[in-house]
Amino acid sequence: MSVIDNLSAAWPLVANLESFLALFIGITVGVVAGAIPGMSATMAVALTLPFTFALQPITGILLLLGVYKGGIFGGSIPAILIKTPGTPASSATVLDGYPMAEKGQAGKALTMALYASCTADVMSNLALILFAGWLASFALSFGPPEFFTLILFSLTIIAGVSGKNLVLGLLSAALGLLLATVGLDLVYGTNRFNMNDPNLMGGLNFIAVLIGLFAIPEILAYIWNPQERKGSVRSLGGQHLSFKEYKRCFKSIVRGGFIGVILGSIPGIGAAPAAFLSYSEARRNSKNKENFGKGELEGVAASEAGNNGVCGATLIPLLALGVPGDVITAIIIGAFMIHGLQPGPMMFIANGDIIYALFLGLIISSILLMGVGSVAIRLFRYIADIPRPVLLPTVFVLCVYGVYAVNNNVFDIGVMFAMGALGYFMLRTGIPAAPFLIAFILGPLLEDNFRQAMLMSGGSGTILFRSPITWVFWTLTAITIATLVRKGMQRK
């Protein structure tokens, strides 16, 4: 069947009230869940899954996709307003989104986040529809050696988010790498820094670390010195984003969407690294480089484009190969199977109408996200007007509740407070928190893939140069480091 035939067969499956309603409800649920700290998009999708069993396959899957997309956008709302990323994917958004909110530009930051999300979302969907087969085979050429070089390159992001002092940034990253080693050894299964506590066997909970590092220091800082910030008026400010501003960020958004699509189509990376990579690339190429981290609109745009660009693209390995790229798509694959559909190359032949119906649904979802997102911004913006003595305790309660909810484990709350103390210390001493977080996310990936590659080759390092992809990333890494060194020399 040609594309046109498939599309005409698919249209009736989507063009009904149920499908639209499913997408609308899904996105709404996702945005709200994403906006609650600790309630990640993954959890929201997992909780929605049982409701899809009784629905038509296409309706059920659209519902889940709506939750997914809404959740990834929703996470940016608390990231910007209260410095607490609702989902790990939106932690890069904190870097510039929260400073903007401090300056009274929360409305602008939120609107930018929404527009960037939707733009990247459309790009991601188009990539899925047009290049699924091609990107999927590209993704399969990523084995541990290729992953290793990609992650190594991504670690150069640290230079981009370290602020003025690269040494402090590296110190922060080293600390992040160190704490990421807590848990069980990948290859030998032995204990590492567990202190024989079963709670530490699974490693430090990511959400607890995230919230502890960003939100708690902010609260502590206020308790310590309420006067310091009394003068600053936090209001929504000019809510409107001018077309000129959108145009200025457009290049970063497209770049972010592109990065999101590539990283999204490779199984096992996820949205958070994509957001950070997009952010650091935007900073590197921006004229306002100095303003990044202090409330730069382009930074918000790039991060949100990066993480939403991943959404549609994670469906590429799912539909083209039957491979779930991350936990969320693993849940979605479950929904396919419950209905007797088996994603993979055969599905394009056997159930082409359903695949094309999904494509159509995805396009509609970008438009709906725009609508639901605008309403959500309008509702959530009142948070910006709440005076701090009321807001911060509320945030505090939400943090504790949210961290507990991830794993229903009181221990995680302890982790959050410990990280909060560390984060406060870092805030006072000017050590940037972002490199810590990046190292904490990427460290385990780097280690795992390096060791898997070494197992594959029997300990020979040449496997790290086995394919053109590895060469590309080695070259990129070398260029980035050379540029950094040269700049450092010039400054002297």
Partner 1 sequence: MHKAKLLRSFSFGAAALGALTMGATAAQAEYPERPVTMVIPYGPGGATDISGRTIAAPLGKAVPKPILMVNRTGAGGATGSVSVKNAKPDGYTMLFARVGSHSVNPAMKATLPYTLDDFRFVGVYEINPVACAVKADSDIKSMADLVAQVQANPGKVSYNSAGVGSLLHLAGAMVLREFGVENPMKDAIHIPLKGGGAAATAILAGTSTFICTNSSALASFVKNKQLRPLMVTTAEPVVGFDAPTAADLGKPNLHKLVGWTGIAGPKGLPDDVAAKWRDYMAQATADQGFLDKMTARGSVIRLMNPEESEAFILDQYTIFRKLVDDLGMRIKG
Question: How far apart are alpha carbons 48 and 59 in whole angstroms?
Answer: 12
At 211, the amino acid letter reads: I
Shortest gap between Cβ of 287 and partner 1 (angstroms)?
Answer: 37
Whole-angstrom Cα distance, residue 256 to residue 116? Answer: 9
Q: Identify which of residues 189 and 389 has a Cβ nearer to partner 1 in the complex.
A: 189
Measure the CA dihedral 291/295/301/305, to 10°.
100
Among residues 2, 91, 45, the alpha carbon closest in space to that of 300 is found at: 91
Minimum CB distance to partner 1, residue 38 (Å):
12
Nearer to partner 1, 306 or 317 (CB): 317
Alpha-carbon span 384 to 334, nearest angstrom: 39
Q: How far is the CB of 235 from partner 1 (least distance, A)?
A: 16
Amino acid at 106: A
Smallest distance, partner 1 to C-beta of residue 236, A: 14
- C-beta of 409: minimal distance to partner 1 in Å? 6
State which of residues 356, 380, 424, 440 lies at the interface with partner 1 (CB under 8 A).
380
Q: How far apart are CA 106 and CA 80, in angstroms?
A: 7
Using CB under 8 A, which of 1, 397, 481, 482 touches partner 1?
397
Q: How far apart are CA 180 and CA 429, in angstroms?
A: 22
Nearer to partner 1, 163 or 268 (CB): 268
Please say whether the beta carbons of 69 and 365 come within 8 A. Answer: yes
Task: Confirm or reject binding of residue 185 to partner 1 (CB under 8 A).
Answer: yes
Per-residue interface string for the shown chain with partner 1, residues 442-471, x marking contact by CB under 8 A: ------x---x--xx-x-------------
Residue with smaller CB distance to partner 1, 242 or 394:
394
Q: With CA atoms as reference, report the closest residue to 428 among 165, 158, 220.
A: 220
Give me the 152-171 binding string for partner 1, x by CB under 8 A, dash otherwise. Answer: --------------------
Considering beta carbons, is residue 272 or 391 the nearer one to partner 1? 391
Give the separation between CA 38 and CA 169, rounded to whole angstroms.
26
**Nearest CB to partner 1, comparing residues 68 and 424:** 68
Q: How far is the CB of 335 from partner 1 (least distance, A)?
A: 10
The answer to whether 124 touches 334, Cβ cutoff 8 Å, is no
> Phi-psi region for residue 237, left (φ > 0), alpha (ψ -120 to 50) or beta?
left
Residue numbers 225-244 binding partner 1 by CB under 8 A: none
Which pair of structure tokens corresponds to residue 145?
């050696």
Maximum distance among all Cα pairs of the chain, rounded to whole angstroms: 69
CB of 188 to partner 1, least distance (A): 7
Subset of 50-79 contacting partner 1 (CB under 8 A): 50, 53
Q: Which is nearer to partner 1, 348 or 424 (CB)?
A: 348
Q: Which is nearer to partner 1, 12 or 345 (CB)?
A: 345
- Binding segment for partner 1 among 171-179, 223-231, 280-288, 325-333 (CB under 8 A)? 325-333
Measured CA distances, 8 to 2, 5, 58 (Å): 10, 5, 16
Q: Taking a C-beta distance cutoff of 8 angstroms, is the pair 342, 108 a contact?
A: no
Choice from 126, 170, 254, 327 touching partner 1 (CB under 8 A): 327
In degrees, to the nearest 5, what angle opens at C-alpha 41 toward C-alphas 35 and 47?
A: 110
Strand partners, 183: 192
Q: Which is nearer to partner 1, 292 or 348 (CB)?
A: 348
Query: Which residue in 9, 21, 46, 421 binds partner 1 (CB under 8 A)?
Result: 46
Q: How far apart are CA 291 and CA 297, in angstroms?
A: 9
Closest separation in Å from C-beta 326 to partner 1: 9
- Tokens read off for 31: 């945005």
Among 310, 321, 362, 437, binds partner 1 (CB under 8 A): 321
Determine contact, residues 67/87, Cβ cutoff 8 Å. no
Q: Is 54 helix (H, G, I), strand (E, B) or coil?
A: coil
Binding flag, residue 143, partner 1 (CB under 8 A): yes
Pairwise CA distance, residues 394 & 397, whole Å: 5
Q: How many residues in the shown chain lie near partner 1 by CB under 8 A?
A: 67
Angle at 264 between CA 260 and CA 266, to 5 degrees: 130
Cβ nearer to partner 1, comparing 227 with 462: 462
CB nearer to partner 1: pick between 203 and 257: 203
CB atoms within 10 A of CB 246: 17
Q: Which of 56, 199, 239, 291 binds partner 1 (CB under 8 A)?
A: 199
Q: Which residue stretch of 46-54, 127-135, 242-250, 305-313 sits at the interface with partner 1 (rule: CB under 8 A)?
A: 46-54
Residues in the site for partner 1, rule: CB under 8 A? 42-43, 45-46, 49-50, 53, 140-144, 183-191, 196, 198-199, 201-203, 267-268, 317, 321-324, 327-328, 330-331, 333-334, 337-338, 340, 342-347, 379-380, 382-383, 386, 391, 394, 397-398, 401, 407-409, 448, 452, 455-456, 458
